[in-house]
Every structure is written in structure tokens, then in C-alpha cells.
Amino acid sequence: MRLATTIRGLIPVMALAVSAWAVSAPASAEGKGGGGKDGEKAAPVPCGDAAALVNAVSEANSSPSGGSVVLTTGCVYTLGSAAYTGPNGADGLPLITRDVTISGTLATIRRSASAADFRIAEIAPGGSLTLNGVTFSGGRATSGAGTDGGGILDGGSLRLIQSTVTGNTASNVGGGIEVASGGSAVLSATDVTHNSAGDGGGIHINTSATLGVSGGNISDNTADSSGGGVSNFGTTLLGAVEIARNRTTNFEGGGISTAIGDLTLNGSRVTANTAGSFGGGIANMGSALRVLATTVSGNTATLNGGGVFQHAGTTQMTGDTVTGNTANGGQGGGIFTDGGSIALSATTVTGNNPNQCVPALAGC
């Protein structure tokens, strides 16, 4: 059994902070989508002009207070080369060092399929990036020093509002988004789809990093190792999120893998995910996991724990439904436990294959 996944810079994990920022986009971020906060200079970018886009981001970075970049509605900006290369590899946009907002309606920033590998954006510690109504796609962090965060490498502060991160690849962690140690990310009504990585096909949250997601989808992502949709080593809160059709090729947590720190899942759906080993829906490998008012259904594990695999740490399930999950080559179609502790409260476990809970649990 594989018990560990990629951990960089292991330090003591922050305590879980279930606060307002973690369940909705901050008011200040919402207000920035229409062209920026007071004092910022909006930088309208002509449709499809990638060079102008790079210049506009550079200009926003040059102001001590940052700035806003406004994209033309419905336009696609294709990046043909990296604008910045640093210790973490190549980035299609300039390194984000200030408070930068990029807003647009159905606008897309993508890496050219014929270009050398680079991720779309990197946020330096102390920098802040807000995307409002924008899609990032086609980023590749797969060579040299750049192997984390195929779409976005977040070492600072990231806000995504009604945006999409899709079709990005990282050879190490965070196919769509890597929230690096010390970084924070807030996603509101945002989709993270069709990304791939070694760990955390959709999103990887590193030690001493935080993620809050409200609404949207984390779907159709793939990890070679663990956490097809989400791989957590930090502090994560997922609220009203659809986590669907993600998969791991070899190891645990088709939908979600959480190994260190805290993860809370509230009012969400974990459905139709597949694990190459344990935990088709969710695998707890050593975290404090809380699952509240959530449906875990239609997930498949190649081995044990079709719905939930409890290996280490603690899991508290309250008001949940675990149904229609399958452990193809093992036991615990609903929930399988081989370590740590799990407690069920007002939770229904039914209709799983080949059985419900192994070993038997109170309330199952």
C-alpha cells in the first residue's frame, strides 16, 4: 500500500480556519471584476493581442498598488512564449508581484499548443491575482524547474470568481492549481476541469497553505498518484462543490485525497470518481476530515473503500449519504477503515457493493 504522497517543505500545519473568506469570495474581490478598485488603472486589451496582454500585466505589476487588466468579451489570447522564467520554471504571463486583477466575460488566456512548456501564471509571495470571468487553459509545467502548477502556481494570494481552469498539466503536483506553502486561494463559482498531474490533478494544497471553495465544479481531472480532483496537505474548506468524474491512475482518492492538516467538505456532492487503489470518492490518509450534509455516490475503488477509505487521522461524517459506491476488488463498498478513527452521525450508508462498512461501524 502506498501511504505517502508528495510533500514539500513539511512544517507544522495551520489549524483549520472555518471563516467567512473560506466559503465565499471576498467583497473586495467581487468589486474588482468590473475594472478594478479605486485608483487602479484599467488596461483594456485588444481582442486576441497576446503581446498587449503581457504588457498590460507588466504595467499592473509596475504600480505599487497594482492594477487591473480588462479583456475583450469572448476573445482568446494565445501565448506563444514565456514572459518570465525563474526558480519555479517558465510562466506565460509576467510573475505576479503586486495586486493584479484580470477580468473579462468569456475571455480565455491559453498557451499555444505549439509553444514550449510553461504554466499560465505564477504568483510570488506577497503578490495577489484575481481572475473574474476568465479561463486559463493549456498550461504545462512539465520540464526543468517548472513541474508544479500547470495552470497556476500560487505562492501568494489567488482569487477566482466565475472563472475556469482547464486542460493544464503538471508533472509533479497541481495540474490546474498548486497552492504552494504559504499561499492562499479562494474560488467562487469556478470550474477546475480536465487537468492532470502526478498528485492533485485538479488542485494540490501544500503544507501551510489554505484553500476555500464555494460553488463550482472540480471535475474530470486525473492524477497518476493521489487526489484526482483535490490533494490536500494544508487547510481546505469545500462548500457546495461538485466533485465529479475525477480519477487516480495508481493510488488513492479518486475524488479527494487528504493526507495532512484539515479538510472540511460541506453541502457538496462527490460522485462518479475512480481510484486506482483505495477510496474512490474520498481517501483520508492522516487528516482531520469533516464531511457535512454531503452525498458520496457512484464512486469506484479498484481495491477497498468505494465511497470512503479511512486509513489514518480522524473522520467525522454528519448528515451525509453514502450510496451506490463500489469496491471492485476489495471490501467496504461504502466505507472501508483500516486505521485512525471514523464516526457517523445521522448518516445513511446504503446500496453499496459488495457491502456497506468494513469493519462494521456504529450507525452503518
Distance CA 292, CA 264 (A): 8
CA 219 and chain centroid, separation: 10
What gap in Å lies between CA 349 and CA 332, rounded to an integer?
11
- pLDDT for position 42: 64
pLDDT of residue 13: 31
Q: What is the pLDDT of residues 76-93, one digit of tens each?
A: 999 999 999 999 999 999
Q: Taking residues 263-290, what's their average pLDDT? A: 98
* Per-residue pLDDT, 43: 53
Q: What is the mean pLDDT of the chain?
A: 90
| 36, pLDDT greater than 70 | no
**310 has a pLDDT exceeding 50:** yes
Residues in the chain: 364
The Cα 345–Cα 189 span in angstroms is 29
253 or 31, higher pLDDT = 253
Neighbours of 98 (CB within 10 A): 19
| Choice between 13 and 165, residue whose per-residue pLDDT is larger | 165
What pLDDT does 145 receive? 86
Of 225, 95, 216, 199, nearest to 165 (Cα)?
A: 216
What average pLDDT score do residues 294-316 get?
98
- Does pLDDT of 251 surpass 70? yes
Q: What is the mean pLDDT of residues 274-302?
A: 98
* pLDDT for 11: 29
* % of the chain with per-residue pLDDT over 90: 86
Express each pLDDT in 49-73 by its tens digit.
999 999 999 999 999 999 999 999 9
Contact 206, 177 (CB under 8 A): no
Q: What is the pLDDT of residues 253-265, one digit of tens each?
A: 999 999 999 999 9
Is the CB of residue 207 less than 8 Å from the CB of residue 179? no
Longest Cα–Cα distance of the chain, Å, equals: 62
Q: What is the pTM of this model?
A: 0.90
Least confident segment among 28-32, 71-75, 282-286, 351-355: 28-32
Contact between 163 and 190 (Cβ < 8 Å)? yes
* Distance of alpha carbon 53 from alpha carbon 186, whole angstroms: 24
- Over residues 200-228, the mean pLDDT reads 98
Find the mean pLDDT for residues 343-355: 98
Spatial contact of 294 and 348, defined as CB atoms under 8 Å apart = no
What DSSP string describes 69-134?
Answer: EEEPTT-EEEE-S-SEEETTEEESSPPB-SEEEEEEEEEEEEE-TTSPP-BSEEE-TT-EEEEEEE
Cβ–Cβ < 8 Å for 128, 155: no
CA distances to 87, 94, 221, 265, 331 from 91, in Å: 11, 7, 22, 32, 45
Of the two residues 35 and 104, the one the predictor is more confident about is 104
Mean pLDDT throughout 316-339?
97
